[in-house]
Amino acid sequence: MVRQNTQCAEEVDQVKLSELDRFIDDSRDVKGLLIPALQRAQELFGYLPDAVIRHISGRLDIPFSEVAGVVTFYSFFSTVPRGEHVIRVCLGTACYVRGGQEVLTALRHELGIEVGQTTEDRRFSLEIGRCFGACGLAPVVMVDDDVHQRVKPARIRELLASYREEAHGAQELEADLVPEGAAE
């Protein structure tokens, strides 16, 4: 078997790549390992860069075209960097009728991005969904795995505040860890 990961060494974080390799090695007995390997890679890298797709192709001895086909078929997978927080607005029938489109417009305005884009600071990505199975709570917005129900466009800034504060708090903590007098 020829491994196709020589290009990968220069393009991706080697620690994450080693962790992906451990996952693949530990899961060799799993039937249909491709999708779990792609899911694990996306968890590690935040998206699926071409070099990682090629690496998985080589490690699993599956043609690159087949692996790339799976990546592009499933909307869960992304080949572009996503934000730290992925915001999904439901536009299924109940959510749409109860104001989901207005919620989406408010989010686009507040974040300054369109659907499928990520903010410049890579804090947020904006996506749409067709149904989250919470029709009685419409309109629904998911931020990562958090479900927000009966969302009002006027309260979007408030909804995002805790996610913005979380990132700001992490930056402050990081700044506190820099030794005094260290060059920035």
pLDDT in tens, 118-165: 999 989 999 998 888 999 999 999 999 899 999 999 999 999 998 998
- CATH number of the domain residue 127 falls in: 3.40.30.10
d(CA 156, CA 109): 10
Task: Locate 61 and state its tokens.
Answer: 């001895």
d(CA 126, CA 113): 8
Task: Out of 43-47, 49-53, 156-160, 165-169, pick the least confident.
Answer: 165-169
d(CA 22, CA 116): 31
Do residues 59 and 95 share a domain? no
d(CA 131, CA 16): 33
Q: Which domain holds residue 170?
A: 85-176
Q: What is the pLDDT of residue 168?
A: 54
pLDDT by residue (tens digit) across 3-37?
444 344 345 789 999 999 999 999 988 899 999 99
Residue 126 lies inside a defined structural domain of this protein: yes
Compute the average pLDDT of residues 93-121: 96
Do residues 30 and 93 share a domain? no
Give how many domains the chain has, as a whole number: 2
Residue 41 lies inside a defined structural domain of this protein: yes
Compute the average pLDDT of residues 39-50: 92
